[in-house]
Chains A and B, each alone.
Chain A
Amino acid sequence: MARTIIPFGPQHPVLPEPLHLKLVLEDEIVQEALPAVGYVHRGLEKLTEIRDFNQMVQIVERVCGICSMIHAQCYCQGLEEMLGITAPPRARYLRTIWSELHRMHSHLLWLGLFADGMGFESQFMQCWKIRERIMDVNEATTGNRVIVSVNVVGGVRRDLNDGQLRWIGSILDQVEAELKALKKPLIDDYTVKKRTVGKGVLTAEQVYELGAAGPTLRASGVAQDMRMTRYAAFDELVFTPVVETEGDCHARLKVRYRELLASIDIVRAAMRALPEGELAVAVKDKPAGEIVTRVEQPRGELLYYLKASGKKNLDRVRIRTPTFANIPPLLAMLPGVELADVPVVVLSIDPCISCTER
């Protein structure tokens, strides 16, 4: 059959976000995928010209509706470095706790969407049911469910008391039990394996060459995680990246599933070791200089480039999000995949388009 070009997205029932790909098909097999980026561009970086550097914390949080906390953490971390201050130890631990909670709810969201992408509706609901517990923790401890707004330049705005820590601990126990029960129907299931094993395979060399980030990278056997750079409380906590070697959609599923369990352990360890002390240090100067900071977002490495010249507005905020890094690997995964498997392969990189297009 002759070549056909099928538009996949921006509006597609399987996509949580408006990714736009043009799929060049021959018969049912994808020959080539052409991306179109920019559908939900909002110009958030440009806002730095009219909002001061403190207000930008709330703005960068809105880059991503799922890992908002981690964006603000990265931004604040960068500015703190530029200003020559360090957030107090308690603030760094609290940031770690909240960012891992964000990773958990993001991964649970993704597990659900991935199951939905395969048509596994009951699993989708199950994952989101578990996720709701974490959302409740977010709302009870930070005040908001999604865009938690706990970071300020210099530290955090909210504290956790002993009662809250115990309550989070009990919620984590519940979540852990429910997650363990999820392993069989989600990871070991025959149908799930049929849909994911051997789909969208990338080797370790390929992902490295293509600059993949996060679980997409680690599922192909490259042990690279920004938490290994020991930001926030990771300099004192034990951390080992989760790695799988198959490089297919099933491996990416396993990486995210195991990262969920790892995040529970990190939150527990951080809560045990939570030091007493101040929540934030005062910021007196205006930032000046240039800085690049990185943190690990649920989807991979998040990079902020900040430039300032001692004014209340920053000169430039440049955000590189993990999905942007994962688009070239996605384009390499798609050729040779059947059209029916495209949703599974696309979702396997956990695309977050509003991040990518900011």
Chain B
Amino acid sequence: MFFMTKTVFSNLFSRYATRLHPFVVREPFPDARGELYCEIEKCIFCMTCQRKCPSQCITVDNKAGTWTCDPMACVYCGVCVDNCPVACLHQKQTYRAPTPERLMLSLTGTPPRAARLAKAKTPEAAPARAGEPKAEVPPVKAEEPKAEAAPEKGEGPNEEAASAKAEEPKLKAAPAAKPAAKPAAKAQAKPKAQAASKPKVKAKGGKGKA
């Protein structure tokens, strides 16, 4: 291993080859496939994404007008993005921040048929929520880490009408309640979740998501 000594010394006195990750983050590559999101107001509920997704993590209900994705099952392959006929699915350049809880990305929009019916007939006939698409993230109970998640149950993760506001404190509370979560994940999850939810609220897309 004598030949290696030179390399070892040059490595010792040169810059680090790695980054101090949570503090120094590389700019994502422009074409990187990251977290999936859906512009629900554009969605026509054609169910193509549900049919094409190889991990079958998307569920589209074209009657109720819901689009649900299990981000934990999504493999970031981008097949749904390529196949969406109205190009309302997109991928961010960064991956999803780790969370200690299993959250479903569930969006509600107006299916074209319901919209047409609403125009033609009485406004009451249309689903009540169709008028104002709202952020809804019913946190699905984590299946495996149930026992660990139990202490924070009272704080409302199970309340159905979890609005975007109610969600933020919960996100904060979740990592804190779990000492097992790595400090790195904690530090990252918080700012990201907040940053991610802001533009969405602005865009009126009605997407709240961790």
Contact = CB atoms under 8 A, between A and B. Distances in A.
A66 B107 CA distance: 35
A184 B3 contact: yes
B4 A144 contact: no
Contact of A144 (B52, B54, B76): B76
* Chain A: number of interface residues, binned into ranges: 20 to 34
Contacts of A41: none
B73 interface: no
A158 B31 CA distance: 10
Nearest to B53: A55
* Chain B: number of interface residues, binned into ranges: 20 to 34
A177 B29 CA distance: 25
A54 B1 CA distance: 49
A1 interface: no
Interface in B11-54: 11, 17, 29-33, 52-54
B78 interface: yes
A122 B8 contact: yes
Given A51-B54, A58-B79, A143 B33 contact: yes
B188 interface: no
B31 A140 contact: yes
A142 B82 CA distance: 14
A129 B17 contact: yes
A189 B4 contact: yes
Nearest to B79: A58
A189 B32 contact: no
A136 B91 CA distance: 18
A122 B4 contact: yes
A51 B57 CA distance: 13
Interface of B: 1-4, 7-8, 11, 17, 29-33, 52-55, 75-79, 82, 91
18 contacts: A51-B54, A58-B75, A125-B17, A126-B7, A139-B32, A140-B30, A140-B32, A143-B32, A143-B76, A144-B76, A147-B77, A149-B76, A149-B77, A149-B78, A185-B3, A185-B4, A189-B1, A190-B2
